[in-house]
Amino acid sequence: MSPTPTLTPGPTAGSAALMRPTAYTRFTNRALNWVEEGRVPDLVVRRGIQQLLRQRLAEHAADDCEQALALSEHFINETARRAAGPGAGEGQRAAL
């Protein structure tokens, strides 16, 4: 099962290109599929995760404290929502 591509707005509202996946999105989805299928070595996956975490830490270490707090809260809420799963009720999410 392949993930649904992220759709981005096209050049003008109402055009045929309004909701078309970008090349970056298609590449990202293909790479994630390869990882899920076990085609990518664990070392490469770990290095990619480490790089993403370094980027996330750099975002959170911003000079703007309010922005850093908002990013942290968003990350915590998204992590809890994803850990609970799509069918979880609010009670299950609150327990996380």
What does the pLDDT look like over 12-63, one tens digit per residue?
Answer: 544 445 456 788 888 888 998 999 999 999 999 999 999 988 888 887 666 7
- Whether the CB-CB separation of 11 and 20 falls below 8 Å is answered with no
Confidence of residue 10 (pLDDT cuts 50, 70, 90): very low
Question: Quick one: tokens of 64?
Answer: 């703007």
Looking at the predicted structure, is the pLDDT value of residue 2 above 80?
no
Helices 65-84 and 42-60 sit at what angle, rounded to 10 degrees?
Answer: 140
Q: What is the pLDDT of residue 34?
A: 94
Please write down the long-range contacts of 7-15, taking CB distance under 8 Å and 24 or more positions apart. none
| pTM exceeds 0.85 for this model | no
Q: What is the pLDDT of residue 38?
A: 94
Looking at the predicted structure, is the pLDDT value of residue 90 above 80?
no
For residue 8, what is the enclosing H or E element?
strand 7-9
| Phi and psi angles of residue 21, each rounded to the nearest 5 degrees, phi first | -65, 145
